[in-house]
Amino acid sequence: MLTQVLTEKDVVSAGWAHAGSTPGDPGTHNTPGGPNPDNQANIYTIAWKHAIDPSLTFYAAYAMTNSHPDAHYDLGAGGHANTTDCHDASQQAAFDPTANRGAGGVTGDGPHCFAGGKVQGVSIGDNCRF
């Protein structure tokens, strides 16, 4: 990450991270599976912070995750927002002892994850220290 102080109250930061390929893919989502998948990804970020006073700071941040065709990395998975790559309209898989007795009592087969996406997000807010 690179950070540049612009003024006494303004700071801008930019970052990049890379996730390398794994040696195999079980093919559990919309990927073909098998050895040596193209499941690497890059994330790019930029943020600006403006200090109002020593206890109050405003910020704006942008991030983009660019997944290769067999990768399904996401934004927000660390708890700052909602994840998006594994959300669709399919019913979530769950154990239901009253349904599908011959199929082990599981209903639904979701959520389905979508590999190869370009997920982007913006976050604005403040940081107030008491």
pLDDT in tens, 15-46: 999 999 888 876 666 677 788 888 899 999 99
Tell me whether residue 107 is in a domain.
no
Tell me whether residue 54 is in a domain.
yes
Tell me whether residue 124 is in a domain.
yes
Tell me whether residue 58 is in a domain.
yes
Nearest C-alpha neighbor of 115 from the set 45, 46, 19, 4 = 19
| Most confident segment among 19-33, 47-61, 77-91, 106-120 | 47-61
Tell me whether residue 7 is in a domain.
yes
The answer to whether the beta carbons of residues 120 and 63 sit under 8 Å apart is yes
Tell me whether residue 26 is in a domain.
yes
Nearest C-alpha neighbor of 108 from the set 89, 85, 130 = 89
Tell me whether residue 98 is in a domain.
no
Name residue 31's amino acid: T
Tell me whether residue 44 is in a domain.
yes
56 or 101: which carries more pLDDT confidence?
56
**Domain enclosing residue 56, as ranges:** 2-87+116-128
Domain count across the chain: 1
Confidence check: pLDDT of 108 > 90: no
